[in-house]
Structure 1
Amino acid sequence: MSALVDMNAKSGNLERALKLFEEMPKRVYRLSKFSGCSIATLLKVCKTTEHLHHLHARIIRKGLEQDQFLIAEFITLSNSLASLNYSSSVFDRVISPNIFLWNSLIRGYCQKRCFQDVLSVFIRLKRQACLPDNYTFPSLIKACSSLCNVEGGKSIHGSVVRHGFEACVFVGTSLIDMYGKCGHIDDARKVFDEMTERNVVSWTAMVVGYVTVGDVVEAKKLFDAMPQRNVASWNAMIQGFVKLGDLSSARGIFDSMPEKNVVSFTTMIDGYAKSGDMVSARFLFDQSLDKDLVAWSALISGYVQNGQPNAALNFFLEMESMNVKPDEFILVSLMSACSQLGSLELAQWIDSYVSKSSINIQQDHVIAALVDMNAKSGNMERALKWFEEMPKRDLVSYCSMIQGLSIHGQGAEAIRLFNRMLTEGLVPDEVAFTIILTACSHAGLVDEGWHYFRSMKHKFCISPSPDHYACMVDLLSRSGHVKAAHDLIKSMPVEPHAGAWGALLGACKLYSDSDLAEIVANRLFELEPRNAANYVLLSNIYAAAERWIDVSLVRNKMRERGVRKIPGCSQI
C-alpha cells in the first residue's frame, strides 16, 4: 500500500495517492515514522492550496503535528501556496520548535518580503532560548539589507560573532552584501578581509558593494584580483561603468566577457540608449539572442527620450510582429512617443490597444500616461474621462490636463481645473505655474495671469523664475500692454533670457512700436548674435514704419556678422 501511495504521488496523481493513503490500515498510522514518510512524499508533489489543506487535515488526524521535520516541510510548502498567517498558525501549534522549524518560518517571511516580521520572529526565537545556526542568519541579514536597517544588521552581526558563525562563508557573504547595499562599504570590506574562506559570490558581493557607492576604481581593482569570476561579477562591473557614464570602459568589459547573458546585453543597451547613442543600442539589441522585455523597453524609451517618437513606434510594431507581449512600462513609453507626435489618430489606436490588453490600466503611471497622451493629442473628452477615473489625482495628472486644455484653446477650462486642483489641497510647483501662466497667455487672460503670478510669491513662497517672467511678458505683449511688458522685464531681479525679449519684440511688430523694437532687438543681438530671426523681425518693423535707411543698416549688419536667413520650406 505504501508503495502505491509513493508511486502515484511521484507520478503526479495526487488525488489517487491521497485516496490510497486514506485507505491504509489503521495500524500503519500508529507508526509515526512510516506515516510521516508517506505524507512527506505527498508534500513533495502538492501543487494547490486545496491539496495542502487535505494534507494538513491528515497530519492533524494522525497526530503528527509534533513531528518537527514533517511540519518544517509542510511550512516550507505552505509559504509558497498559502498565506504567512496560515504557516504561522501551523508553527504555533508545535511545542518547543527546533531551529530547523524556526528557519522554515523565517525563510517564509523573507521570501514574501515581510522583512520586519523576519526580525520579530528572530526575537521570539531568542526568547524561547533556541540557538540559531548558520542557516538562520542569511535570512535575517537579508531582511536588514532590504530595510536598509544598518543598526539592526550590526546587531545581527554581533549575534553571528557570539554564536561562532563569523567563519561561515554564506553568513560572511550576506554581511558583505548588507553593508554594501546600505552604503557602509568600509564595514563590508572589513568583513571581506577577515573572511578565512571566500567564494566567487563573496568576491562579487564586494565588487557590487563598491559599485553601489560609486567607487568603480576600487571595484575594478577587486575585479582584476578575483581568482574566479562568474557572469554576475562581469555584469556588476558593466553596471558600474554604465552608472558612471563611462560606456567605453563598460563596452571593454562587455567585449571581454567569456559568456554573456541577457542582463549583460540589456545593461549595455540601456546605457547606450540613455546616452543617446541609439545606433549602438540597436546594434547590440540585434546581436542579443535572448531578448527580455527590459531590453525592448530600454530601446523604446531611448527613442522617446532622444526625440525619435516615430522610431519608437516602428520598433513597437516590430515587437508586435514577433509576438512579444508588452508590459505596462513599454506601453507607457509608447504613449509618451505619441504625446510627442500629437497625433489624434495614433492616440486613439494606442488607447484602444491598451484598453484591450491585459495590463492593469488603473495603475497610477499607466492612467497618467493615458491622460497625458490624449490631452496632448487633442482628444480632450477621452483625456477627461481617464482623468476622472483616476483613483487618486496628483499634481502631474492635473498639469497634463491643464496643459492639454491650454494647447487646444480652452484657456477658461484650464483656469477652472487649476482652481479645482487648489480646492483639493494640491500645492502647485514651479512647473504648474509655468503651465497655468502659459494657458493665460494663450487665452489672453491678463487679470488671471497677474493673479497667479503674484500668488506665486505671496501665497506659495515661490520666487518667479525667468520662465515665469517670460510667460507674463508674452501675456502682456499679446494683449497689447507693451509698455507694461517692458517695465516687467526691467524689474526682473535676474537677467531675462532671450525668450522674454523675443516675445516683446514680436509685440513691437504687432503694435508697430519701432522705437521700443530697436531697444529690444539690440539686447537680443547681444544674447543671440547668430539668430537671423531677430534681425529679420527688426528689419520688417523698420520697413513697416518706412525707415528704409534703418532697414539697410540691419541688412548690412547681418552680412558683416555672417548671419543668413534660413529659407522656408513646405512639405506640400
Structure 2
Amino acid sequence: ERCADSGGCVRNHMWLIRAASKEGDVARALGAFEQLKQELPHLVDPIAYNIVIDACACNRDMAAAERVAEEMRAAHGVNVVTYNTLIKGYCLSGDLAMGKRILHRLEAEGFTPDAASFCCILSLAAKSLNVKEVWNTIAGMDRHGVPLDSFSASLLMQAARKAPKPKDGNGLLTLMDRTDFCIVDDQVIFNSVLDACIYRRDRRRLSRAVNAYSSATFTPSGRTYGLLIQACAMLHRSQRCWELWEELTARGDIKVNEALFGLMIDALVESRQVAAAYDLFQQWRTKVDCDAVIPCTLIKGFAKMDEPDKAMAVYEEMKAAGAKMNVVAYTALINANCRRGFTKRAEALLEEAQASGFKPNAVTYASLIRGHCLCGDLHAALSIFHTMSEKGFQADNVIYNTLLDGCVQNSNFQLADELLELMKERQVTKSNYTLSTTVKMWSRRGDLDKAFEALNATLSDDTSPPVDAQVGACIVGACMHNRAPDRALKVFEEMKRWPNFDGPDVNTYSSMIGGLARHGQARQSVRIAEEACEALRASPEEDQRCIAATSLTQMFKALRHERLQQEVGYPLFQKLKAAGQPVDSKWLNRPWGRDKAAWNDDGQDGWWGE
C-alpha cells in the first residue's frame, strides 16, 4: 500500500513537472522535482531526471538542464536519452555548435547515437540552410546505420527548395536517390518533393515522384492535386492533368478555389492547349471566384500562340463583364500585341491603362521595347528604355535581355557589347535567356570560340542556375551556323552530362539532324535521329514532341544524294513512324529539287530567331 501510495505520489510530481514545462515555468518544474527528492529520494530514478531535463530543454534553459544532468551523472549516471534531450534543447535554442558538441560527448562516452540523436541537429541544419552541416550529419547517420525518417526527409526537401545557391539545392535533391528515402511515405514529404523538384526544374526526379504516386496510400489534399497538376504540366503530361482535374472536381470534400483552378489553366496554357483552357474558363467562371489573374493567363497564352486578336477578345469579354483589370492583365495584353509588332495598338492600350489609374511596370516597358525591336526600330526601343529610367524604374534582366535580343536580331553588335558591359557594371543577374542570346550573338558574328567561352563561364559558375535546353539548342545551332558539325557533335554529347540539364530537347535534336545532313554527315544525322526516336518517345501519359519536319526532310534528301535511301532511309522511316514522329511518304519517293525551306544555309529551324 505504501508502494502504491509512493507510486501515485511520483506520478503526481511528474505530472506537475510536465504541466509547469508546458506553461513555460521552469522554476516551478524544478521546485516540484526538489520536493520529490525530499519526500521520496529513493524513487528518484533516471527517468525522473530525464523528465526534468526535458522540461528545462523545451524551455531553452540550458544552464538548468546541464546542472540537472550533472546531478544525474553523480547520482545514477547519464544515458542516451539524457544526451538526446540536451541536443534537443541546444537545437531549439538555435545553437548548432553546442548540439554537435553534445553529440560528440555522447559518442566519446561509448553510447551509440540513434535517430533522435541526429534528428534535431539535422532539422536545425536544414531549417537554417546550413548545407555543409546537413551533409556532415547525414554522413554520421550513415556511419551508425541510422535511416532518414519522413520528418527529416520533408525538411531536407524544403531546404532543397529554399537553398539560395542552385548547386546546394540541386545537391540536396540527390537525397531522393537513397534507398531509405521513401517518396510516398506520407503526404507531407510527397508534397515537399514535388515542390522542390518543380522549383529546381529537376524533371528526372519529378517524373519518378509522379510515377510513385500510384502506390501512395494517403488521400490527396487540394495542395497535393495542385502540385501534381503543376508537375504533370512540366513533364508534358497534359492528359494526366485532365485526369487529375476530373478526379479533383469529383471529390465532394475539396472545394475548387481560384488557386487550384488557376493551376489547371496554367497547365493547359503551358501545354499550348490555350483554346481548351479558354473553354474550361467559360465552364467554371461562375463556379469559382476569379479576378483578372486567370484571364491574364489566357491572354498570355494566346500571346505565346501568336494570336493577339484572341487575346483582345478575352480583354473585351472582361470589360463587358465588368471585370476589374489590373496592371498584370494590361501588361499581358500589351505584350500579346508587341510580340506581333503591333506597337500602335500596344501604345493605345498603355494609354487606356494609364487613364484607368494604372502605372506601367518594368514588364510593361519590356514588352514595348520588344515590340519596337521586332519592328527593327532600336531607336524607339532605346527611347522607351531611357523614359523608364527617368521615371525611376530600375531595369532588370528582363529589360536588358529584351534589348540585347533586339540588338542581335538587328545585328547591332556594338550596342549589344555595351549592354553586356552595362549589365556587368550594374550587377544585373544573367539568366539562361541572356546566355542563349549571347551565344546567338557570337554565332552571328562568326566567333564560335566566344560563344563557347560564354557557355563555359556559366557552367563553371556555382551561383548560376542550371543551363537549360534552350541554351543547348542555341550552342548546337551556333556550331551548325558556323560550319562546325564536329564541334556540334562533341558539345551534344557533353551537354548530356551538364548538371541538372533538362535536355537535349526536340529543338536540339532537330538542329543536329538537319545540320549534320546539310554538312554531308548523313550517317551521323541518322544516328541522332534514331537516338531522338528513343529520347523523345512519349510514354502513354506524355505529350508527343515532334522533330522538325524541315530537319527530317533535309536528312532524307542527304540520304538520297548519298544513295543510302535503300540501306538506311527505309528502315529509319519505319523507326520514326513507330516512335510516333510525323512522317511523309514523299521523303522516300519524291525527286529532290532545290527547296529553300528544307535547305537553309543558316541552319535555322524556326527556334533560332525566337
TM-score by length of 2: 0.46
Bigger relative contact order, structure 1 or 2, given CA contacts below 8 A and separation 6+? 2
TM-score by length of 1: 0.48
Q: Which of the pair has more CA radius of gyration?
A: 1
